[in-house]
Each structure stands twice: as C-alpha cells, then as structure tokens.
Chains A and B, each alone.
Chain A
C-alpha cells in the first residue's frame, strides 16, 4: 500500500525489511519460507568452513 500508516503491523513490516536489507536477505518469509534456493546449503557450508579457518588462525596467532 502506498499509504504511510503508523499501525504496529506497518512498523513491524518496515523493521523486518530493514533487518533483511542489513543482512542482504530476501524477505521471503511471507511469500513462503521454503523458497530458499538449493544452492544455499552449500553456500552456508562453505561460509561455516571459512569461519572455522578464521577462528583457527586467530587461535594460532594468540597462542
């Protein structure tokens, strides 16, 4: 809707959009939380590997 409202719902939606933007996420919860591309688990797995490597490096540097 193009009307600016101050209803809690409106505010909540706005906040959700802001948070999603902040994290580069698609706001697809309302359209179907299931709509996540299959590639995502692989991407997520790689991301966690990257964190593991960085955390291990940090440990070595501080030991």
Chain B
C-alpha cells in the first residue's frame, strides 16, 4: 500500500528532470563537503567536493540552449545551469586551495 502523492504538474521533458536531479544531488554532496571543510576534515571534504563536482558536470552536460528549449521551465533551467557553472568554478578554486593545505 502506498500513499499517492497529490497530482502535480510534471515536466514533459526528461532533460529538465535530469538537470534538477543532478543539481539536487550536487547540493547534497557539496553541502556535506562544506560541513566537513568547516570541521577541518580536509581529505573527506575533498572527496565530497569531487563527488559534487561530478554531479554538477553531469547536469551541465545537458544542453539548455537547444532550439526546442523554450518556455518558462527552460528559462528556469538555464538560470539553474548558470548557478551550477558558477558553483563548479568556486569548488574548483576551493579544491586548488585545499591541495596546498597539508593534512593534519
């Protein structure tokens, strides 16, 4: 027996669903990485950042600018993609900074 979720509008394009999925997975991983980073657990943080980067990269591989990517859902997806790109480069910077830190 399962509880049916309330009916909700759906994306009629798997690409939109994928972008969201990768973005949200990246959020989880990078959130964990930031927590570890705050705690000074550099090596564990690095690994989580890498995992988060991998999810961002998968999300960014989805083309948001194709000719058929029109409508408000795609506008939001393009905004999301931009943010993901920005966060990706921030994390790459952070990884470079951490690479010069000797683990305690």
Residues of A at the B interface (CB closer than 8 Å) are: 23-25, 32-45, 47-52, 54-56, 58-59, 62
User: Which residue of A34, A43, A48, A58 contacts B10 across the interface (Cβ within 8 Å)?
Assistant: A34
- C-beta contact mask, B1-44 vs A, less than 8 Å → 1, else 0? 00000001111111011111101111110110010011000000
Q: How far is the CA of A5 from the CA of B93 in the complex (A)?
A: 46
- Could you say which residues of chain B place their CB within 8 Å of the CB of A58? 34, 37-38, 94
Residues of B at the A interface (CB closer than 8 Å) are: 8-14, 16-21, 23-28, 30-31, 34, 37-38, 73, 76-77, 79-80, 83-84, 86-87, 90-91, 93-94, 97
Beyond A23-B25, A34-B14, A38-B8, whether A45 also contacts B80 by CB under 8 A is yes
Looking across the interface, which residue of chain B has its beta carbon closest to that of A40?
A: B20
Q: How far is the CA of A24 from the CA of B14 in the complex (A)?
A: 19
Asked if B16 and A41 sit within 8 Å, CB to CB, the answer is yes
- Could you say which residues of chain B place their CB within 8 Å of the CB of A50? 27, 31
Rank and list the top 10 A-B pairs by shortest CB-CB distance, nearest first: A48-B83, A47-B27, A44-B23, A41-B76, A55-B90, A36-B17, A37-B8, A38-B9, A33-B14, A40-B20
Looking across the interface, which residue of chain B has its beta carbon closest to that of A36?
A: B17
